[in-house]
Structure 1
Amino acid sequence: MAYVVALTVPIVLLELAIDDQTVRLTPLLILLPAFPAAVGTVRQTVCAVSWVLIVITGVLTYRPLPSWYDYMIVMLLAAVLGVLCVLTCRRRIRREMDLRRVRSTAVALQRQMLRPLPILTDRVIVDGIYLPVEADRLVGGDIYEVVASPYGTRLLFGDVQGKGLPAIGAAFAMLGAFREAAQREPTLTALVDSLESAVVRHNVFAQQTGEPERFVTALILGVDASTDTQAVNCGHPPPYLLEAGPVAPVLFGDPGVPLGLADLTPKPRTVVWFPFPAGATLLACSDGVTEARSITGVFYPLEERLRAWAGGSPWDIASNLVSDLSRHSAGQQRDDITALVVRRAA
Structure 2
Amino acid sequence: MLTSRDPDDLSAADGRNRPAPPLRWRAVLVWLIGITAVLVVTGLVLGRETRLAPFLIVVPALIAGRGTVRQTAVASVWVTVVIAASLFDTPMGTMGADAAVVVFAVLFNGLSVARAAQRVHRETEIARLRSAAAALQRQLLRPFPLVTDQLLVHGLYQPVEEDSRVGGDVYEVVASPFGSRVFIADVQGKGLPAISAAFAVLSAFREAAVTEPTLTAVVDALEEAVLRHNSFAAQVGERERFVTALVLGVDSEQEVQVINCGHVAPLLLHSEGAGPVLDADPCVPLGLDSLAPEPRTVEWFSFPHEGTLLLCTDGVTEARDPSGAFYPLEERAVTWGGILPKDVPAALYRDLRHHTAGTPTDDTALLVLRRRSGLGM
Corresponding residue of 1:53? 80
Identity %, equivalent residues:
48
Instruction: State the Cα deviation string for residues 170-216 of structure 1 (Å, max 9, x = none).
Output: 32221111111112233333322322332343344455556554433
Instruction: State the Cα deviation string for residues 136-167 of structure 1 (Å, max 9, x = none).
Output: 24741332112233443321011233444444
Mapped partners of 1:105, 1:59: distance in 2: 50
Corresponding residue of 1:108? 135
* Aligned pairs (5 A) from 1:1-346: 1-3=28-30, 4-21=32-49, 24-25=51-52, 27-61=54-88, 64=90, 67-122=94-149, 123-132=151-160, 135-137=162-164, 139-206=166-233, 211-263=238-290, 264-267=292-295, 269-278=297-306, 280-294=307-321, 298-314=325-341, 316-329=343-356, 335-345=362-372, 346=375
Mapped partners of 2:75, 2:336: distance in 1: 54
Contact 1:281 1:342 in 2 (8 A): yes
Contact 1:156 1:220 in 2 (8 A): yes
Secondary structure at the counterpart of residue 145 of structure 1 = strand
Contact 2:320 2:327 in 1 (8 A): yes
Residue-pair matches, total: 342
Mapped partners of 2:69, 2:237: distance in 1: 43
Mapped partners of 1:43, 1:197: distance in 2: 53
Contact 2:145 2:152 in 1 (8 A): no
Contact 1:12 1:59 in 2 (8 A): no
Contact 1:11 1:26 in 2 (8 A): no
The letter of the residue matching 1:126 is H
Instruction: State the Cα deviation string for residues 255-301 of structure 1 (Å, max 9, x = none).
Output: 333333445344452251422414x3221122343344556554432
Question: Could you list the runs of 5+ residues in structure 2 that have no partner in the other structure?
Answer: 1-27
Q: Please provide the CA RMSD for this pair.
A: 3.0
Instruction: Please say which of residues 94-103 and 305-314 is displaced more in the overlay.
Output: 305-314
TM-score by length of 1: 0.84
Corresponding residue of 2:19? none
Mapped partners of 2:157, 2:183: distance in 1: 15
Contact 2:216 2:296 in 1 (8 A): no
Deviation, structure 1 residue 323: 4.2
Question: Could you list the runs of 5+ residues in structure 1 that have no partner in the other structure?
Answer: none
Contact 2:305 2:370 in 1 (8 A): no
Secondary structure at the counterpart of residue 33 of structure 1 = helix
Instruction: Please say which of residues 39-48 and 138-147 is displaced more in the overlay.
Output: 138-147
Distance 1:208 1:184, change over 3 A: same
Contact 2:341 2:368 in 1 (8 A): yes
Distance 1:273 1:247, change over 3 A: closer
Deviation, structure 1 residue 249: 0.8
The letter of the residue matching 1:191 is V
Deviation, structure 1 residue 305: 0.8
Instruction: State the Cα deviation string for residues 44-78 of structure 1 (Å, max 9, x = none).
Output: 122212222333344443x5367323331332222
The letter of the residue matching 1:234 is C
The letter of the residue matching 1:318 is P
Secondary structure at the counterpart of residue 252 of structure 2 = coil
The letter of the residue matching 1:64 is T
Instruction: Please say which of residues 38-47 and 69-78 is displaced more in the overlay.
Output: 69-78
The letter of the residue matching 2:229 is H
Instruction: State the Cα deviation string for residues 95-115 of structure 1 (Å, max 9, x = none).
Output: 111212222221222223333
